[in-house]
């Protein structure tokens, strides 16, 4: 293993990373759990043999750290190291079962602002068996937002909620990153997946931003798919995709699908890139079922490390390592997970595989396409400052936990009973707010609801001014005070606003 012995660069220009450098770079490294140590040792020995200009500072993360009382599996010493090096090469960890533990990956990504997750998914036909021999797709996933904000609540006896946050700044960053990536890596097309036919405001923002930013890249082909049909096409005809950009949850799921259909999740690496920090890893987990047996495939972590080399300005070493790796795959030297008697020549363990790559350093594949990183790949992102709009308050959605006392079983709750008493309370509140409608799980149930609609104990009650007339928030407080006096159980509120006169809230289904 390489040792940490100085001469590293203190400050790295990581916003505009990937500039060629001949200085040594200090990198934080963690061997994680399960197969982590085996695959990390193989990876580091290849980097050392390739003369990567790197020193490593080793830290401990994962299961042991969780069990020592650190709820996110990471210690203050590791944060200190990451603040210093700004680059993290991380082996997989085992997440302990049970409540109270937070995901280490999500914690690191969000704390360090690693907004972009880049997963190249490539087929290595005919050397690795796959139904999709021509696949070469890069999934670029937004990494910090969406349902992964981790804001969840139980609101009533029956209803739980997870908040989906899509921001204009976060969206612009990831979309710009995807187009810049396509430009720098000579990709021809960027596809966007979203579900804006249903989530018109959140996914709608993602899609609209894609169209707006995409217009700045006339040389790149653009397309958008609703995520369900897009996912189906990705699983059956992946060769039609080049770069795909998507929000966090879809990207989390579909990047695993994409990696698996190339032949094995064990082959894909991933980069988590932020303005000032970056983390590189394999996409698979700690594989406890094969840990300690010396048979794990180190390729995913190695290809993550290759992305790291490009990022820290060592494109020359990245090219040398990846081409040697491609030659090893092409020569049929395979670990058990991709071994196939028809195309493999030798089944090897983790260490032997690493040695086979080292033997081929300086060689290029002959059938598979060699990689070329030239003098490096520099990606820089400039996000436009947020435009402050004229915001006006025109109403409020008040969410109530309400049970119909006439129906203690909860089987046929009568929305009219609730609606009539809320209308009366609003009238008596002496505000400009009137009850406009009530929805249950998004479906309008008052006024004129369908008696067939099943209702839970969670009611969204929309109070608005006539003709969207602007009001002061004091009026909302007055109405809430009145409802509280009447004994209603208020769970939460959402303000109804217009931005520059444009309505910024969804209508109820059936409204
Ligand atoms: P896994 O990816 O660890 O394993 C799934 C299957 O793939 C297993 O059969 C395993 O043997 C095989 N496999 C995975 N990597 C391989 C490799 N390099 N070579 C050969 N075979 C390989 O997924 P899992 O079993 O669901 O999760 C195990 C643990 O890993 C869990 O605690 C999970 O939380 C954690 N995990 C961590 C990360 C991470 O640290 N980034 C990611 C995913 C899962």
Is this prediction's pTM over 0.85? yes
* The predicted structure's pLDDT at residue 1: 33
Whole-number pLDDT of residue 263: 84
CA distances from 449 to 23, 248, 255 (A): 70, 35, 42
Alpha-helical segments (H) within 122-226 = 168-184, 202-214
Nearest CA, atom 41, ligand 1: 92
Q: Within 13 Å and on the Cβ side, how many CA atoms surround 4?
A: 11
Half-sphere exposure of residue 174, counting CA atoms within 13 Å on the CB side?
Answer: 34
Pairing assessment for the beta strands 434-440 and 443-446 based on DSSP bridges: antiparallel
CA 286–ligand 1 middle distance (angstroms): 4
Distance 175 CA to ligand 1 centre (A): 29
> Which residue's CA is the closest to the ligand 1 atom numbered 23?
285
Return the residue whose CA atom lies nearest to atom 5 of ligand 1: 287
Query: Of ligand 1's atoms, which has the minimum distance to the CA of residue 287?
Result: 3
Ligand 1 atom closest to the Cα of residue 39 is 18
One digit per residue, the tens of pLDDT, for the chain of length 511 reads 333 333 333 333 333 345 566 679 999 999 999 999 999 999 999 999 999 999 999 999 998 999 888 888 999 999 999 999 999 999 999 988 777 788 898 899 989 999 999 999 999 999 998 889 999 999 999 999 999 888 999 999 999 999 999 999 999 999 999 999 999 999 999 999 999 999 999 999 999 999 999 999 999 999 999 999 999 999 999 999 999 999 999 999 999 999 999 988 889 999 999 999 999 999 999 999 999 999 999 999 999 999 999 999 999 999 999 999 999 999 999 999 999 999 899 999 999 999 999 999 999 999 999 999 977 778 888 898 999 999 999 999 999 999 988 777 767 789 999 999 999 999 999 999 999 999 999 999 999 999 889 999 999 999 999 888 999 999 999 999 999 999 999 999 999 999 999 999 998 766 7
Name the residue with the closest Cα to ligand 1, atom 8.
287
Rounded to the nearest angstrom, the distance between the alpha carbon of 163 and the centre of ligand 1 is 28
Using a 6 Å CB cutoff, which residues line ligand 1?
35, 39, 92-95, 105, 266, 281, 284-290, 296-297, 300, 337
Q: Give the position, in ligand 1's atom list, of the atom nearest the Cα of 296.
A: 19
Ligand 1 atom 31: residue of nearest CA: 94
| Res 18: pLDDT | 53
Which residue's alpha carbon is nearest to atom 26 within ligand 1? 285
Residue nearest to ligand 1 atom 44, measured at CA: 285
Q: What are the structural domains of the chain?
A: 1-111+269-376 (3.40.718.10), 131-261 (3.40.718.10), 391-503 (3.30.70.1570)
Chain centroid, CA 6 distance in Å: 34
Q: How many Å apart are CA 109 and CA 96, to the nearest integer?
A: 19
Ligand 1 centre to CA of 288 (Å) is 7
- Cβ neighbours for 9, distance < 8 A, ≥ 6 positions apart: 21, 23, 24, 25, 26
């Amino acid at each position: 293993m390489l040792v940490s012995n100085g001469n590293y660069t203190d400050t790295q220009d990581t916003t505009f990373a990937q500039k060629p450098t001949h200085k040594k770079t200090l990198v934080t490294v963690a061997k994680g759990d399960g197969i982590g140590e085996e695959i990390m040792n193989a990876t580091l020995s290849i980097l050392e043999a390739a003369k990567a200009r790197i020193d490593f500072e080793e830290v401990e993360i994962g299961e042991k750290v969780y069990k020592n009382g650190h709820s996110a599996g990471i210690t203050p010493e590791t944060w200190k190291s990451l603040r210093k090096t700004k680059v993290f090469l991380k082996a997989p960890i085992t997440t302990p079962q049970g409540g109270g533990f937070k995901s280490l990956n999500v914690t690191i990504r969000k704390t360090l602002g690693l907004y972009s997750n880049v997963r190249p998914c490539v087929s290595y036909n005919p050397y690795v068996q796959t139904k999709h021999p021509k696949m070469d797709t890069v999934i670029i996933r937004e990494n910090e937002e969406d349902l992964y904000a981790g804001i969840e609540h139980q609101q009533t006896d029956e209803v739980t909620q997870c908040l989906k946050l899509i921001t204009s700044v976060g969206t612009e960053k990831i979309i710009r990153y995807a187009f810049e990536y396509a430009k720098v890596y000579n990709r021809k097309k960027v596809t966007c997946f979203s579900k804006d036919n249903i989530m018109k405001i959140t996914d709608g923002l993602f899609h609209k931003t894609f169209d707006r930013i995409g217009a700045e890249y006339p040389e790149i082909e653009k397309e958008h798919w609703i995520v369900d049909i897009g996912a189906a096409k990705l699983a059956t005809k992946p060769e039609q995709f080049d770069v795909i950009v998507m929000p966090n949850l879809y990207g989390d799921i579909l990047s695993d699908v994409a990696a698996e259909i190339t032949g094995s999740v064990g082959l894909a690496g991933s980069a988590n890139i932020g303005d000032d920090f970056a983390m590189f890893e394999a996409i698979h987990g700690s594989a406890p079922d094969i840990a300690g047996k010396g048979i794990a495939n180190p390729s995913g972590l190695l290809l993550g490390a290759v992305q790291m080399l490009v990022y820290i300005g060592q494109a020359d070493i990245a090219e040398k390592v990846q081409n040697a790796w491609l030659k090893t795959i092409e020569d049929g030297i395979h670990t058990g997970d991709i071994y196939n008697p028809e195309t493999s020549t030798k089944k090897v363990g983790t260490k032997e595989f690493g040695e086979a790559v080292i033997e081929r350093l300086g060689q290029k594949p002959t059938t598979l396409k060699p990689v070329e990183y030239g003098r490096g790949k520099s990606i820089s992102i400039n996000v436009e400052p947020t435009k402050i709009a004229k915001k006006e308050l025109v109403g409020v959605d008040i969410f109530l936990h309400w049970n119909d006392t006439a129906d203690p079983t909860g089987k046929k709750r009568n929305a009219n009973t609730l609606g009539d008493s809320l209308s009366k309370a609003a009238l008596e509140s002496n505000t400009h707010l009137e009850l406009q409608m009530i929805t249950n799980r998004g479906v309008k149930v008052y006024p004129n609801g369908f008696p067939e609609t099943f209702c839970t104990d969670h009611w969204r009650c929309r109070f608005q001014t006539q003709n969207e007339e602007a009001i002061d928030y004091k009026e909302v407080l007055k109405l809430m005070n009145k409802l509280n006096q009447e004994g209603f159980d208020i769970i939460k509120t959402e303000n109804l606003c217009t931005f520059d006169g444009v309505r910024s809230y969804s209508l109820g289904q059936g409204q």
